[in-house]
Structure 1
């Protein structure tokens, strides 16, 4: 497993076919001041068409780490670092594994790059989109008036990767932590972090701490009218109590309801995007 500091410096990873220069797989991580595809094209022109041995290229504060396999060239663009060896080691591993898994397709090239998209999960298992805290509880995001649907299509959700994502989605119930889901699944920590970083990146889930009596709650938005219609005007008062300083227990003390009733209501408000637990994403 790579360190979070190392992972945070990754900007872009690309695998390109050597024989024709076609991009096979490209994963953007973070925005860049230059177009990564243009940088990749420039580097590939030197390697493939000028037949020059180029291992590192620096452009506007970014370092492009370059490695070649039998069929593909791998490019890993990172923020400027003094030592690129950890990135180079992982890039070599990615290329070797990719070429082994897709040897038949690469040897019998048909021009269709869609079968390779599933391999993004293998890369994200090494360099996830973001740091994933295994103690957090994932909740499926649902469209509501308080939280409009912003879920985006996951471009890597094809083939075996889609099967894994669908299996993990089946474990998410708003109660289990990521760690508990991992222990119930057949996947290791790296793969679990890769999957959840995808789900979070493309806004399929929210991540929060478990709701406990000492959890401090923060208002995100005003409750929509339909919720006020269900719970009454008292709902607005409850939401205003969630100012980031009061715990669930404190809020319960100020209301004429029992802990379980308030806890159920708070969970509904979290699920609809009205509240969040302090310190969560």
Structure 2
């Protein structure tokens, strides 16, 4: 599940966190947060000059997204599959609505964060409780696998279950026999695919994400994305949507 895990609204001049909302599983050491956010505030101010631009910091397992304007810094810890453009817009919207509501107060603010408590529900609504930038995961699957895959899913759904992203981690090591099917060798002899592409193509089995295919094949994810696009253009693929 892709989500905005943590959200912080920070005061420019003091570096004080005005509002913190937690939606996901990524944990921060709260004893270190204050100094960390102050450093982010200084960095963001220098970067954007308060223009409202988006800055993304790669934290390896997630992205930290920063938007600074109107003397307020918004920062969110987001999954890497979240839509950064959507996140940028909603973080800017949060700042705009906050300034509309508290603009007159923040200039002579005494330091009491309790006065912003009722704005938390507005943030939750704007961010859809962290799901605002969620992108539905699409898993590539060769058409030669699709019919059998659908049948297997129908059996699962009859039991009241549904395939989720979490299931993929288990399924990769427990693939059914129909994944042993292969595209006809003519796609190589006729020049549609080379041998390496042919091998990688069969990892598109409905259980591997593009990232998984890249990891298993030892290829850069960008190269795998190009290959998936080429297979799609050749009419060899379908995509399974995972919630």
TM range (shorter): 0.3 to 0.5
Larger RCO: 1 or 2 (CA < 8 Å, sep 6+): 2
The structure whose residues are more often helix, as a share, is 2
Superposition TM-score, scaled by structure 2 size = 0.45
